[in-house]
């Protein structure tokens, strides 16, 4: 089944109806949209330096532990790229539990728990607070990156949203779940219930493409919107074969233009650092090519604000987009 047919079947309509709905999701005069997102998982390179030094036999990794060195803090590089190209993106901030203070002691022996909960940051860290305010003042969108267990815990999610809002100073409307965790439709019900307007968690870290169709989704037929994730940088062979990685991205852009799609990408800030030098230029090239093709480029929240959302009456009569 083609993406268009699959999307239409899921919506309960004809393929032509799905294409028409997609056209209404794109800002007037633009052939397609590219939504830019970043999940702020680990802005500090801490225990990872020791891990890579041991696992790869690369003692140079230990330089990251020296005072004044923090290769994962790459926000100025991202801002420079996007400012130079006249675009903005969203940054989703994580309020994760601490392995040492919030998790059971037995998890100190679990490598999986170290990966999930160690090396995290505190939203009240002065540097993080300053970063959030700086991004917000510059026109970047601030969203929530739901903690690992929050996708199935409405009250935890509500608390995380409130804490981020207390730092930002205003409402947060968008989210992506950590590790793309989802329990459909329960997670989206939690999101809508606590006042979130859109979610960007539907996707894969290992595969890319328009697996969920070319348009946005309205799982409840109302104003709550799901932005399917088209590609995460980790799904691309950037270091192994940068040419193939670029060809894949350009092919997705062509496919998006041909189908009037909303394409969404995730580039983690740590991939803009000196440890992974190929990723930043590839991200810039992606945006440049999208602009050359006439795309609307920006954060999902800005596109959400441009949508015509169903009225209460239409909610009862219209299938989801």
Q: Rounded CA gap, 287 and 295, in Å?
A: 9
Nearest in space to 173 (alpha carbons), one of 60, 9, 304:
304
Cα-flanking dihedrals φ and ψ of residue 95, to 5°? -115, 75
pLDDT tens profile 249-284 = 999 999 999 999 999 999 999 999 988 999 999 999
Report pLDDT for 106: 76
pLDDT tens profile 229-243 = 999 999 999 999 999
Lowest mean pLDDT among 7-11, 162-166, 187-191, 302-306: 7-11
Handedness of CA 167, 171, 174, 176 (dihedral sign): positive
DSSP codes joined into one string, 187-252 = HHHHHHHTT--EE---S-SS--S-TT-SS-B-TTSSS-EE----EEGGGS-TTT-HHHHHHHHHHH
CATH class of residue range 3-317: alpha beta
Question: Residue 277: which residues within 8 A CB-CB, separation 6 or more?
Answer: none
Q: At residue 44, does pLDDT exceed 50? A: yes
Mean pLDDT computed over 166-175:
98
pTM of the model: 0.84
Confidence of residue 49 (pLDDT cuts 50, 70, 90): very low
Confidence of residue 20 (pLDDT cuts 50, 70, 90): confident
Lowest mean pLDDT among 3-17, 199-213, 255-269: 3-17
Domain ranges for the chain: 3-317
Per the model's pLDDT, the better-predicted residue between 35 and 56 turns out to be 35
């Amino acid at each position: 089944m083609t993406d268009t047919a699959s999307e239409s079947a899921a919506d309960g309509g004809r393929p032509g109806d799905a294409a028409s709905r997609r056209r209404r999701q794109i800002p007037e005069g633009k052939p397609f949209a590219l939504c830019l997102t970043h999940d702020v998982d680990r802005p500090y390179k801490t225990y990872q330096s020791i891990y890579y030094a041991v696992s790869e036999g690369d003692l140079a990794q230990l330089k990251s532990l020296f005072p004044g060195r923090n290769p994962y803090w790459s926000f100025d590089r991202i801002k420079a790229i996007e400012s130079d190209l006249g675009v903005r993106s969203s940054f989703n901030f994580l309020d994760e539990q601490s392995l040492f203070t919030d998790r059971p002691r037995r998890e100190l022996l679990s490598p999986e728990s170290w990966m999930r909960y160690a090396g995290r940051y505190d939203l009240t860290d002065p540097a993080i607070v300053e970063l959030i305010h700086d991004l917000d003042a510059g026109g970047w969108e601030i969203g929530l990156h739901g903690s690992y267990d929050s996708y199935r815990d409405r009250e935890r999610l509500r608390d995380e949203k409130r804490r981020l809002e207390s730092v930002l100073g205003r409402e947060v409307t968008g989210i992506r779940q950590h590790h793309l965790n989802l329990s459909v439709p329960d997670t989206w019900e939690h999101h809508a219930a606590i006042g979130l307007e859109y979610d960007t968690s539907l996707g894969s870290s290992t595969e890319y493409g328009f697996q969920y169709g070319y348009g946005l989704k309205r799982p409840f037929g109302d104003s709550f919107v799901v932005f399917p994730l088209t590609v995460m940088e980790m799904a691309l062979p950037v270091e192994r074969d940068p040419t193939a990685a670029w060809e894949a991205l350009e092919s997705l852009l062509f496919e998006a233009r041909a189908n009037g799609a909303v394409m969404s990408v995730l580039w983690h800030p740590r991939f803009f650092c000196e440890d992974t030098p190929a990723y930043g230029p590839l991200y810039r090239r992606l945006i440049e090519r999208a602009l050359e093709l006439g795309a609307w480029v920006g954060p999902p929240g800005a596109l959400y604000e441009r949508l015509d959302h169903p009225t209460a009456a239409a909610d009862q009569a219209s299938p989801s987009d």
